[in-house]
Amino acid sequence: MDAMSSLSLPSVSFERTQSVAVLGGGPGGYEAALAAAQLGAEVTLVERAGVGGAAVITDVVPSKSLIATADAAVAISEASDLGVQLFAKTDTGKPLKPEVAINLAAVNKRLLSLARQQSDDMRAHLVEAGVRIVSGHGRLDGTHAVVVSTGPGGTDFDRIEADTLVVSVGASPRELDSAKPDGERILTWTQLYDMKSLPEHLIVVGSGVTGAEFASAYMNLGAKVTLISSRDQVLPGEDRDAATVLEKVFKRGGMTVLSKSRADRVERVGDGVVVTLSDGRTVEGSHCLMAVGSIPNTAGIGLEDAGVQLTDSGHIRVNRVARTSVPNIYAAGDCTTFVPLASVASMQGRTAIFHALGDTVIPLERRRITANIFTAPEIATVGRQEKDVESGAINGYVYKLPLAANARAKMMGIKDGFVKIIAREGSGTVIGGVIVGPRASELIYPIAIAVERRMTVDQVSRVFAVFPSLSGSITDATRAMHLVNRDDDFFG
């Protein structure tokens, strides 16, 4: 999402001006507001925390900035493997090998500043596009209006009527009564940035994406980390080979991974915490991060009164064009029943507006969604996965190529990771892929294009890749999957 890109496309004129009210300024609401302004609508965006929402201010942007710092620390510590040696000298000229030190207070100050800068840039972009921004707590008032509490203590109100409503209110960390966060020792992921120094021993409860990312980051920053997983592997539900690689890296880095261990309660004891497991064992540490999922911010904002259908978990039911059960009300992002990713929220926001205002619409498909887990190494996926082939859900074949076989990987000292391609039997059409390695989030893009455009492995293999490059492993993998005697005139 480029908050500073120029809006150069002409607006579309309607017989009468369409009005759009967007509740929530996260990725979904931001893109919905921009798209509506681009199409010439009268747009009002309501946001209580700041443009960008939690994704920018307390979640995606700061957490990935923290991970970037951890990656830099690892690069410095492993530089000696590439022949780069760092030394300081005593007064007598004797060399000393310096240690990498992390000033966590400075790190957190920087990443929160970056998050605020991104939020300010996005706000400026909306204002430039002609979007009216109202700061305050909003709720639906029927099916065609939003009421916003704008004054201190909820004393002042602003009522905004609109033809189309878009709800993009996001989600918040799930809190358990048996492990109530106190913001000091027992923390949610939004509270980590108040720490002034690196935790001596961080216990992470939950081995999903959020738990794995923060466990990886703090381990690489130099903290002792224990990861408590209720399942038999980290990242349950993700590619099994990817999870195996990551768990191996975790253990090699000194992390303690407790598999098949469920945390019953977390208590603050003095200057530390004690986590009690369901089997009676206890784990003591200095801090505990609770990464046990999130809940949608849909309570008390008038959705039920407006007739919008919710699931038992409070998520808004939407279809593939982000439409709710009420024809003129749409929803985007983590508050919906669709995939909880910032990129998906952005696409939902745009799709909702295109559909509401009569522009060309391509309904969202889960098979096209690219996801990334920002651990070290990163794990990127798109489309169908190997478990779909193993279960018989699709007829396909899988090829995995270790990155260690790649010349550029050898040069960079990369030992862990792989490229995995999933193709359909018979046609060889690429239907999915997994990449584990540095910058997998960037490397997955050509596979995502192949999935989107239904390219075959032979077609992908004929695209020239730079040598040496990590992306060359994609070419190598698809070449290994060559379909003999195919009459393929894709390249003329």
Output the tens digit of pLDDT for each of the chain's 492 residues. Answer: 444 444 444 555 555 679 999 999 999 999 999 999 999 999 999 998 899 988 899 888 899 999 999 999 888 888 878 888 877 777 887 777 767 788 999 999 999 999 999 999 999 999 999 999 999 999 999 999 999 997 666 666 899 999 999 999 999 999 999 999 999 999 999 999 989 999 999 999 999 999 999 999 999 999 999 999 999 999 998 999 999 999 999 999 999 999 999 999 999 999 999 999 999 999 999 999 999 999 999 999 999 999 999 999 999 999 999 999 999 999 999 999 999 999 999 999 999 999 999 999 999 998 899 999 999 999 999 999 999 999 999 999 999 999 999 999 999 999 999 999 999 999 999 999 999 999 999 999 999 999 999 999 999 999 999 999 999 999 999 999 997 555 555 444
Q: Exposed, middle or buried by CB within 10 Å (0-12, 13-18, 19+), for 178?
A: exposed
Residue 91: its pLDDT value, please?
80
pTM: 0.90
| Cα 182 to Cα 172, 178, 224, 267, distances in angstroms | 16, 12, 21, 10
E strand map for 332-429? 370-373, 378-383, 396-402, 418-424
DSSP assignment of 77-146, as one string?
A: HTGGGGT----EE-TT--EE-PPP---HHHHHHHHHHHHHHHHHHHHHHHHHHT-EEEESEEEE-TTSEE
Which residue from 487, 489, 382 is spatially nearest to 430, judged by alpha carbons?
382
